[in-house]
Structure 1
C-alpha cells in the first residue's frame, strides 16, 4: 500500500528557521492542486531522507525538493522547481534555469547564511487542513 506522500513532491526544510517556515507557508497558500507535502530536516523522516543519500544530517541550511522514486533538487534548483510545479505566473521563474547552478546557489547560500537575521521568528502554526500536508514520521 502506498504512503500518502509517495505521489507528492516533498519539501524538506529547516524546522527551526523563520525564513524557511515563511516559505513553507507561502507554498501552502499557493498549492491549489495539492502537489506538495512538507517535512522538517530535523524529523525522523527528514533524517532518513538525508542519511539514505549520504547528505549532511546535522547542518540544516539547504532546502530539498524530492519526488519519491524519481529525483531530488537542492538549493536554488529546488526553489525553481517548486515555482515551476506551482505553475501560473510562477512558471516564469524558469528563466532562472539559464543561470548556472553554481551562480544561483551562491545567491541561495548568501540568503541561507543570513536567514536567522532576516527571519521574523514568528512561529508558524498550520491550520487543520495544512497539518495534513506535513510528514511527521
Structure 2
C-alpha cells in the first residue's frame, strides 16, 4: 500500500491509501478520488517525507488534533448516512442507476459495490462516494 498526501484545488489537505501508483492514477482519472471536505475531484499529490523504518522501537506519536477532528467528522458522516439513508446491500448499483436515470425515487442510498462497479457508475455520471470506514471496536484495540 502507498500513502499519499493529497490536496484538492481548494487547498484542503488529506491523505489517501492506494494499492500502487498506477491505482492512484486510474482512480484520479476516473474521478473516484475526491476531497472529503468539499467533494472536489481536482486532486493532486503533495510533497511527503518518506517513512523510514528505524532500528529502535518507539512509542507511536499521539494523534494530531487535525487527525482526531477528521476521524470525528468521518464518524459523524457515517452515522448520518446509516441513520438517514436506505441500505440496499448488493442492490445499490442497480438502484443508483435507476435514480440517476429518473426511473426511481430520488433519495439517499448506500450499499455494496465493487471498485469496477463504482468506476462504471462514475463514468455514467452517477455521483458516488466511498463510505467512511467504521471506527474500530474497542474490543479490537490493544
Bin of the TM-score, shorter chain as denominator length: under 0.3
TM-score, normalised via structure 1 length: 0.25
Q: Which has the higher helix share?
A: 1
